[in-house]
Amino acid sequence: MKDMATTSYDIQAIMARLPHRYPLLMIDKVDESGPGYAVAVKNVSINEPYFQGHFPDYPIMPGALITEAALQASAFMGPTGDETGDAPDASNTRFFCVGFNMKFSGTVQPGDQLRIEVRLVKRMGQMTKVKARISTENGQVASGDMNLATAPKED
């Protein structure tokens, strides 16, 4: 979904915005970001530490980390035109997951590339509801709703 306000982010820009670092930085680039949506990419490599134990004979990416990738992608959604200007500025705000309801419909294995699509559903003060859809080249692997709370960063 490209429009005039679409922005993309490379890994350096992602690291400037998110506090996460290895091994929990779960997105490699943001292909699209605009009013109320973002599309991010995660390249899944056998070198990721969780594959040592999940599972050695059949490595699959844990659902919690797929969800974490979607949560990180949501930090790149731009404000929508119908908001009153109180959309959180991601550079001065911390985002916390306060709930999610994800359904998993496939596995993610080394060599896959996740396409993570997040869309703003509703903002209510410090609470944000987001809808996520995660897919690989083989189709959808997860979808669901995530609830985020925001708090200002403290110096």
Instruction: Say whether 54 is catalytic.
Output: yes
- Looking at 17, 20, 29, 54, which residue is catalytic? 54
Distance CA 27, CA 10 (A): 10
Would you state the structure tokens that stand for residue 138, as one six-digit string? 């083989």
For the chain, the farthest-separated pair of C-alpha atoms sits apart, in whole angstroms, at 52
The torsion angles phi and psi of 63, rounded to 5 degrees, stand at: -60, -35
In DSSP terms, 34 is beta-bridged to: 37
Distance CA 80, CA 36 (A): 5
Instruction: Name, in order, each residue with C-beta under 8 angstroms of 103's C-beta and a sequence gap of 6 or more.
Output: 142, 143, 144
Active site residues: 54
